[in-house]
Structure 1
Amino acid sequence: MFEWPVRVYWEDTDAGGIVFYANYLKFMERARTEWLRQLNIHQQALAEQQGLIFVVTDAQLRYLASARLDDALQVSVEPVEIGRSRLRLRQRCRLGDQWLCDGTISVACIDRAQHRPRRIPTDILARLQPQADLTE
């Protein structure tokens, strides 16, 4: 499981002083990007050199507790399924030992120009494969 630290800033909170619910998705996006980076998968290079991008196709979240201004969160990425053209990931946000948000995020690999599904290149699958069982 990969974890990425996220600090809660003023801009992340709502009028009640807690993290606005949609911002957990932003935190998860940052963690996914850093997870891919640590696997030497650079999304901008993938888009420019191979015309491929990863897009979120489904997000299911459960909110368990609230984060507040200045909280130091840990956002995790854990592959559940790795297919030939899509990933299903479990992502969670926690503050210390307390889970705040639990989600399942599905991501598809698509052609940047045509917006149609494409297979994940084999060299990238090889880096992802040790992370979870290959399916599909």
Structure 2
Amino acid sequence: MYWEDTDAGGVVYHAQYLAFLERARTEWMRAQGHGQDVLRTQHDLVFAVRAMRIDFRLPARLDDALQVSVSLVQCRRASLVIAQSIRCGDTLLLDAEVRVAALSAAGFKPRPIPQPLFEALNALVETPA
């Protein structure tokens, strides 16, 4: 963690966790071959966070090295449910459930996930442990 992520006491500010989760989801999609530019240009699609449940368990602190996980737990025709966690070593700091909606990139209106992408994402669905 960096100074910019923390408060005066060296504890990570709660809103920063949202940015960490977002970056991890973006990098996960990119690693699957579905980067944001590909989604937008090839599929006329963007994903937008619709709802999020977060359990803050323990604080992260200045200089902590964090690991952020991403696990697709549900793929529906026009939405995804993603489980995420943030750990420092073996210690769970935060877990979250993120619901994202599929939207048209051109008009930001709800739309179904295109069939080839839907099938590819469905193949990545993991059952929660």
Q: What is the TM-score when the length of structure 1 is the normalising length?
A: 0.86
5 Å-filtered alignment, 1:92-111, equals: 92-111=85-104
Q: Secondary structure at the match of 2:9?
A: coil
Rounded to whole Å, the distance in 2 between the matches of 1:105 and 1:16 is 29
Which residue of structure 2 lines up, in the alignment, with residue 116 of structure 1?
109
Q: Tell me which of the two structures has the higher relative contact order, counting C-alpha pairs closer than 8 angstroms and 6 or more residues apart.
A: 1
Q: Kindly provide the amino acid, as one letter, of the partner of residue 60 in structure 2.
A: A
- Give unpaired runs (5+ residues) of structure 1: 1-7
Say yes or no: does 1:22 pair with 2:5. Answer: no
Say yes or no: does 1:126 pair with 2:119. Answer: yes
Rounded to whole Å, the distance in 2 between the matches of 1:14 and 1:95 is 18
Say yes or no: does 1:81 pair with 2:74. Answer: yes
Rounded to whole Å, the distance in 1 between the matches of 2:74 and 2:38 is 24
- Give unpaired runs (5+ residues) of structure 2: none
CA offsets 1:63-113 (integer angstroms, 9 cap, x no match): 000111111111001112110110011110000110001111001110123
Runs of 4+ with >3 A deviation: none
Q: Kindly provide the amino acid, as one letter, of the partner of residue 125 in structure 2.
A: A
Q: Kindly provide the amino acid, as one letter, of the partner of residue 80 in structure 2.
A: L
- The share of aligned pairs that are identical, in percent, is 44
Q: 1:54 aligns with which of 47, 56, 68?
A: 47
User: What RMSD in Å do the two structures reach over aligned CA positions?
Assistant: 1.3
Say yes or no: does 1:45 pair with 2:38. Answer: yes
5 Å-filtered alignment, 1:1-20, equals: 8-20=1-13
Structure 1 position 52, deviation (Å): 1.5
Q: Secondary structure at the match of 2:14?
A: coil
Q: What is the TM-score when the length of structure 2 is the normalising length?
A: 0.91
Q: Secondary structure at the match of 2:123?
A: helix
